[in-house]
Structure 1
Amino acid sequence: MRVQERQVPRTRLSDSVASDLKARIVSGDYPVGTKLPSEKALAESLGVGRSSMREAVRALAAAGYLRSTHGVGVFVISDRPNGIGPLDLTLAGGFTISDLCEARIAIESQTAELAARRLTDHHSELIQTILAAAADPQLPREDFVALDARFHREIAEASGNPLLLHMWDSIAAQFEEYSMKVIGMPGRQERAHADHAGIAAAIEAREPARASGLAREHVVTVQQELVRLRTAGGTT
């Protein structure tokens, strides 16, 4: 299949390369099931370095568009249309996974702080119910991740700020996608639950600074584990 090549200025970063490649997938230039050209050929066709091309492929694999199989190649596995849905935040506007984690830190540290100041009995009960349900060590990963998302969303609701809640909802799908990748790491489920218990305790104790700090630390830890997972090839 002949694909008309478009040159991408070398001054652009890998996120722009990923956006360009995603556009080709969405438009049908590279249909689902297609094996992409080699990394070298793709990089040359876009006028960028192989390192930028490699990062772009990793980002699209993380977003669910591509799958890389060592020794075989990279295949298109989804052609979801470009839009403004939560999943597209990974690349829309040039955002990266690091941008997403930084956004989580900003949102969740603030929602935890405000929740500690504004906690109601109703929200307190809901948070504790979620924690209790997630404490089961035999809980399937999918169920734990769903409860994980509910926990953070409930804190956003408890903050009393509807815009912060809206911001959390806008990244919820990405949160669950990457949580599913991280949760399989040894001990991750137990560490996540312990982190949640600490955050909840600080909120219950009406300690805004401690709640905010623990929420930030929790996301930073997840970010570090995501980096290790990506380095090991877990997102491909």
Structure 2
Amino acid sequence: MAQIRRESLAEQAAGLLLGRIRSEEWVLGAKLPGETTLALQLGVGRSTVREAIRDLAGRGVLQSRQGSGVFVTALDVADDWDLVLRRADINAVIEARCAIEGEGAALAAERRTPTEIRAMRRALKSRDEHRSGLEAHVDADMVFHRCIVEASHNEILLGLFDEFVPRLRAAMIDMLRIRGEFGSDADQDVHADVLDAIVRRDGEAAQALSRAHLQSMRDAL
């Protein structure tokens, strides 16, 4: 039989501290009172306070600085990616892809290596070979775009792509299903044009083509 989960004292203490931070009792960058003071205020032991602080530090709200104390680094707990993406509408999704992939294409044109060009060409060929099945086509498309972002040599952009785009696989499949078409010659040609711009080191064209492709998808929806 399932049981109702009771919060531990540390979880309750973390919730009380978070409530005080949300109410701006402590502003961003403020130093919290010492453990002894907080323990008295919350009616718990110092070990419970330490555990509560560790919990909020792990969630990005607090930061412990050796020899200095505990400081407020955020005024609330950030939503996790999955929750953010579930809330996002199609326009927001495409805008985010424009930002990541557009800039990735521009940087790839400046920084790509011969090995990365070969990888992009293989991915483009695979994308061409997977035009008949919607899910396989989306997967091949993601591989192609990831090759481009990887060639940007920007670890943050690649990290955003790896964190963001694979989680949107189902949403992208739904988008194309709503659109009613995928894998056309014109669509494949646009991707080939992006690669051509990267090969000839035309970052401006690579970025513009990448963004225009995604924006046309949004407009069609």
Report the TM-score when normalising by structure 1.
Answer: 0.54
Do residues 103 (structure 1) and 99 (structure 2) align? no
Q: How do 1:21-100 residues align onto structure 2 when only pairs under 5 Å count? A: 84-85=80-81, 87-91=82-86, 95-100=88-93
Conservation of the 8 A alpha-carbon contact between 2:131 and 2:137? no
- One-letter amino acid of the structure 2 residue matched with residue 84 of structure 1: D
Q: Secondary structure at the match of 1:188?
A: coil
- 2:180 and 2:113 map into 1 onto residues whose CA distance is 35
Structure 2 runs not aligned, ≥5 long: 1-78
Conservation of the 8 A alpha-carbon contact between 2:131 and 2:183? no
- 2:112 and 2:144 map into 1 onto residues whose CA distance is 14
2:158 maps to which residue?
165
1:188 maps to which residue?
182
Conservation of the 8 A alpha-carbon contact between 1:182 and 1:188? no
Conservation of the 8 A alpha-carbon contact between 1:183 and 1:189? no
1:218 maps to which residue?
213
2:72 maps to which residue?
none
Q: Relative to structure 1, is the Cα distance of residues 84 and 120 closer, same or farther in structure 2, using a 3 angstrom cutoff? A: same
From 187, 193, 197, give the equivalent of 1:198: 193
Quote the offset at 1:178 in angstroms.
2.7
2:145 maps to which residue?
152
Quote the offset at 1:138 in angstroms.
5.5
Quote the offset at 1:174 in angstroms.
4.4
Q: Count residues in correspondence.
A: 142
- One-letter amino acid of the structure 1 residue matched with residue 198 of structure 2: I
Report the TM-score when normalising by structure 2.
Answer: 0.58
Structure 1 runs not aligned, ≥5 long: 1-82, 229-236
Conservation of the 8 A alpha-carbon contact between 1:134 and 1:144? yes
Do residues 130 (structure 1) and 123 (structure 2) align? yes
Q: Secondary structure at the match of 1:135?
A: helix
- 1:187 and 1:149 map into 2 onto residues whose CA distance is 17
- 1:147 and 1:117 map into 2 onto residues whose CA distance is 24
Do residues 207 (structure 1) and 202 (structure 2) align? yes
1:59 maps to which residue?
none
Using the aligned pairs only, state the percent identity.
Answer: 26
Cα deviation, 1:48-71, whole Å, max 9, x if unaligned, reads: xxxxxxxxxxxxxxxxxxxxxxxx
Aligned-CA RMSD value: 2.3
Q: Secondary structure at the match of 2:190?
A: helix
